[in-house]
Chains A and B, each alone.
Chain A
Amino acid sequence: EVQVVESGGGLVQRGGSLRLSCSVSGFTFSDYAMFWVRQAPGKGLEYVSAINSDGGSTNYADSVQGRFSISRDNSKNTLYLQMSSLRPEDTAVYYCVRAGHSSDWYSWFDPWGQGTLVTVSS
Chain B
Amino acid sequence: DIVVTQSPDSLAVSLGARATITCKSSQSLLYSSNLKSYLAWYQQKPGQPPKLLISWASIRESGVPDRFSGSGSGTEYTLTISGLQAEDVAEYYCQQYYSTPYTFGQGTKLEIQ
Q: Given A44-B93, A106-B38, A109-B95, do A115 and B100 touch, yes or no (CB 8 Å)? A: no
B3 to chain A, nearest CB (A): 13
Residues A28-79 near B (CB distance < 8 A): 35, 44-47, 50, 59-62
Q: B68 at interface (Cβ–Cβ under 8 A)? A: no
Q: B25 at interface (Cβ–Cβ under 8 A)? A: no
User: Which of A61, A106, A111, A114 makes the CB contact (< 8 A) with B97?
Assistant: A106
Residues of A within 8 A of B42 (CB): 45, 109
Contact between A47 and B104 (Cβ–Cβ < 8 Å)? yes
Q: Given A62-B101, A110-B61, A114-B49, do A100 and B55 touch, yes or no (CB 8 Å)? A: yes
For A, the interface residue count at a CB cutoff of 8 angstroms equals 23
Identify the B interface with A (CB < 8 A).
1, 38, 40, 42, 44, 49-52, 55, 61, 93, 95, 97-107
